[in-house]
Structure 1
Amino acid sequence: MQKVTRYIAGQTAMVTIIATLAICLLITLVQSVKFIELIVNKGLPVSEFIRMSLLAAPRYLVFLVPVVVFGATLFTYNRMINDSELVVLRAAGFSRARLSLAGMIVAAVSTLFCYSLTLYLMPATQIELRSIIMQVRSEWGAALLKEGQFTTVGGDTTIYVKERKPNGELVNVFYHNTKDKLTIIAERGAIVDTEEGPRIVVVNGNKQSFKDGRLHVLRFDRSTLDLGMNKQVQKLRWAEPSERYLPDLLFPDMNNADDLDRKDTLIAEGHSRLATPILPMTLSAIALSIIMGGQFSRRGQLKQVLTAIGIMIALYVNHIWLSNMAARLPVLISALYANALLPLAIALYLIIRPRRLKKRGKPAVDTASAAAVQG
């Protein structure tokens, strides 16, 4: 790779990385609101919050990277034009194709990165993220129960623990369920994790229930409180499209009723995973064909920049619309690929084709003056 290509590619890649990290940080702060409830109410440690934020990143990086690469390419080449770097290189004999090669290399690497996200990282991290969220919400006891505080669970259950010892023992447990009209008071208890899910085992207490207009009190030596989500139910939960790998999307299980009902949605998601990673190359090619196609001007390239941004927005919005509508109208799947590949082919053609020089016309001669001269 020539030094010029390495230089331009390095400039574009640096802008891409910095912009991606900055926007990722911003998105992480915005979407962290979803996890605040787990931190405040369920005692989720900060380290686990950071882990969950990292696991959520691949899902939005797939749609963020194409726009960032487009912006980095447009910014880098426009800056080099304003600094007269590209003007000098063009005067030295570099063609548009050779100068555009660096931007397309960065775009190609970004496309490979996006394919790694859509084909592996995104489903893998979504499965892990969903597992953590389900585990935190189901095994809430160890993190949620705060000594000396009343805790409401599910809207109809209230639990109070006077003291929690370092070994996990609970002292003076109070449990009240408004739906079942059941109250349990026990001297001691402990949180245990079973194959069916989390449970609280209480000893030396009594159950109070109100039935038939009478209060019934039953003393017990040992009892179990069933709390949280049943693990078997969690395992049988229908896997969302974002949690599935490409073969599971393109070839749904027709023996599964849920997959059969949402077959078009799964297939559309699979094709979207194949088409979306092409966008970094498509958008970068559009930026290069426009910014390098016009005449360089000392007044700036504002018109070309705005044109490229307008085309990018139209193409990207159309891609999102087609991705959503393809689940309802499978015939639009071919349009999804055409939206990504056709502009790429046109832009590459405009970059590669040799520039035709305009022929200068013969200078116009005043006929009256010519007649006077001849006279």
Structure 2
Amino acid sequence: MSKFDRYILSQLLTMFGFFALVLVSVYWVNRAVVLFDQLIASGQTASVFLELTILSLPNLIRLVLPMAVFAATIYVINRLNSESELTVMQATGISPWRLARPVFYFGMLVALMMTALTHFLVPASLVQLSERKKEITENVTARLLTEGTFLHPASGITFYIREITPAGVLKDVFLSDKRSKSKTTSYTAAEAFLVQDETGAKLVMLDGLAQTLDNRDNRLITTNFSDFSYDISALMEKDGSRKKEIKHLNTIPLMFKSHLVSEDTGIDRGRILYEAHGRVSQAFTCIVFSLVGFSVLLLGGYSRFGVWRQIIIGFVLLIFLEMMKSAFVDPVRDDATLWPLVYVPALAGALLVTGMLCFAANPFNQPRQVDPL
């Protein structure tokens, strides 16, 4: 690799890191707010929030890599052009194809990152994330044993504990059950215990009062009790019957053993092959996006108004490629034999890049437009 290639590549990688960090931060903040509210409402700690956030990062990074590649390429090439470095290189006789080489290297490096993410890191992190969420859901103590906070472990359920003693005694417990449309039942108890038996988790309340409000005629029925057992196992979501998700599986069985995966998961073979080949095509997308950003900036001449027109053209081309990608989703999922269509957007992008570089390399067919002074 020549010094010129290393120079351009180093700038591209630096700005790529910057734009990737910014985009990941924006996406992460939007998702973290929702996740934080859910965890706090369930009585989870900040460490659980941090753990789930880290596990969700690989999939988040996968989403922003293509746009970070395009943004970094546009920024670096535009800066080189404005500082006349690119103009000097072109004046020495270097062709657009030669200038595109470090950009191609840059796209290849990001494609390798995307490959590692889509084939290894993202499936592994999603599996761990799913298992961790399942453990949190099934952990009764983590969801209910929180002092001084009104918790909502399930829809229509409100739970409150004033104090938890070192011996595990729950003081001044309040439980409201509004899951039934016809009645609302509220329990208050001076003390309570959480116990586990073969039938599930139970909340044993002592010295309390049960109030049942009939919503049909607004009658209130009160019952005093010395001890009462409430089954809270129904408050926990049951994940045992959940089907396996193909996004959690490795690419090799999805691509080469799709029949077996389809029989095991009950998912159509077209969806399985779309997931497998979609992971491969995402790496090519990174290369195409970088070259599209480079090529569109070579098409315009000098302008006092900058290169915003070329940047808009680049965005339009990316939107066109994404629309093409979306158009092939349903056909491939419905018919597994159409899986080659997954690679058509990347191929179309490569043809667009080839056409733009050929156009930029032929000065006779491309008169450079210069704004009048």
Instruction: Give, in angstroms, the shift of residue 192 of structure 1.
Output: 5.7
Amino acid paired to 1:237: R
Q: Is residue 244 from structure 1 mapped to residue 253 from structure 2 by the alignment?
A: no
Q: Structure 1 residue 284: deviation in Å?
A: 1.6
Query: Mind listing any 5+ residue stretches in structure 2 that lack a counterpart?
Result: 213-218, 366-373
2:20 corresponds in structure 1 to: 20
User: Is 1:306 matched with 2:308?
Assistant: no
Q: TM-score, normalised by structure 1?
A: 0.77
Residue 104 of structure 1 is matched in structure 2 by: 104
Deviation at 1:156, TM superposition (A): 4.1
**2:260 is the counterpart of 1:260:** no
- Would the alpha carbon gap of residues 229 and 98 (structure 1) be closer, same or farther in structure 2, given more than 3 Å must change? farther
Q: Judging changes above 3 Å, is the alpha-carbon distance between structure 1 residues 247 and 206 closer, same or farther for their aligned structure 2 residues?
A: farther
Contact residue 15 and residue 72 of structure 1 kept, 8 A: yes
Q: Aligned match of 2:204 in 202, 211, 214?
A: 202
Sort the Cα spacing of 1:195 and 1:332 in 2 relative to 1 into closer, same or farther, 3 A. Answer: farther
What is the CA deviation profile of residues 112-157 of structure 1, one whole-angstrom value per residue up to 9, with x for unaligned ones? 1111111111112122222333333332543444435554442344
Per-residue deviation, 1:295: 6.3
1:54–1:357: structure 2 CA closer, same or farther, 3 Å change rule?
same
Deviations 1:291-331 (A, max 9, x none): 33x36536444443332222122112322343355324546
Q: 1:216 to 1:290 in 2, by over 3 A?
A: closer
Residue 278 of structure 2 aligns to which amino acid in structure 1? S
CA contact (8 A) 2:44 2:142 kept: no
Decide which moves more: 332-341 or 260-269.
Answer: 260-269
Once the two structures are superposed, residues 243-295 of structure 1 have per-residue CA deviations (whole angstroms, 9 ceiling, x without a partner) of: 23224544253444xx3354432332222112122101112222333333x36
CA distance in 2, matches of 1:310, 1:282: 14
Q: Which residue is 1:340 aligned to? A: 346
Q: 1:203-260, CA deviations, whole angstroms, 9 ceiling, x for partnerless residues?
A: 75679698xx99888765x9573336668x424421233323224544253444xx33
Q: After superposition, what is the alpha-carbon deviation per residue over 1:76-131, rounded to whole angstroms, capped at 9, x for unaligned?
A: 11221111001112223433233211111111011111111111111121222223
SS of residue in 2 equivalent to 1:161? strand
Q: Which residue in the other structure is 1:285 paired with?
A: 291
Task: Indicate the RMSD between aligned Cα atoms, in angstroms.
Answer: 3.7
Q: How does 1:180-199 map to 2 (within 5 A)?
A: 188-191=191-194, 199=201
Q: Distance in 2 between matches of 1:42 and 1:135?
A: 13
CA deviation map 1:36-89 (0-9, x unaligned): 332431233233323322322322332321122122112211221111001112
SS of the aligned residue for 1:78 comes to helix
Question: Which residue matches 1:55?
Answer: 55
Which amino acid is the alignment partner of residue 310 of structure 2?
Answer: Q
Partners of 2:235 and 2:254 in 1: CA distance? 27
State which structure, 1 or 2, has the greater radius of gyration over its C-alpha atoms.
1
Report the counterpart of residue 121 of structure 1 in structure 2.
Answer: 121
Aligned: 1:67 with 2:73: no
Change (3 A) 1:318 1:358: closer
Report what 1:370 is aligned to.
Answer: none
Q: Distance in 1 between matches of 2:310 and 2:159?
A: 64
State the aligned residue count: 351
The one-letter code of the counterpart of 1:105 is Y
1:323 paired to 2:329: yes
Show CA shifts across 1:12-54 (max 9, x none): 1111110110111111111123213324312332333233223
Amino acid at match of 2:349: P
| Change in 2 beyond 3 A, CA 1:345/1:168 | farther
Cα distance change of structure 1 residues 208 and 73 upon mapping to structure 2, 3 Å threshold: closer
Instruction: Give the superposition deviation at 1:357.
Output: 6.0
**More deviation in 11-20 or 122-131?**
122-131
Identity over aligned pairs, percent: 21
C-alpha deviations, 1:315-355, integer Å up to 9, x for none?
12322343355324546532221211243255257648994
- In the aligned structure 1, how far is the partner of 2:142 from the partner of 2:160? 13
Q: Distance in 2 between matches of 1:195 and 1:38?
A: 29
Aligned to 2:35: 35
- Provide the TM-score with structure 2 as the length reference: 0.78
- Partner of 1:159, secondary structure, is strand
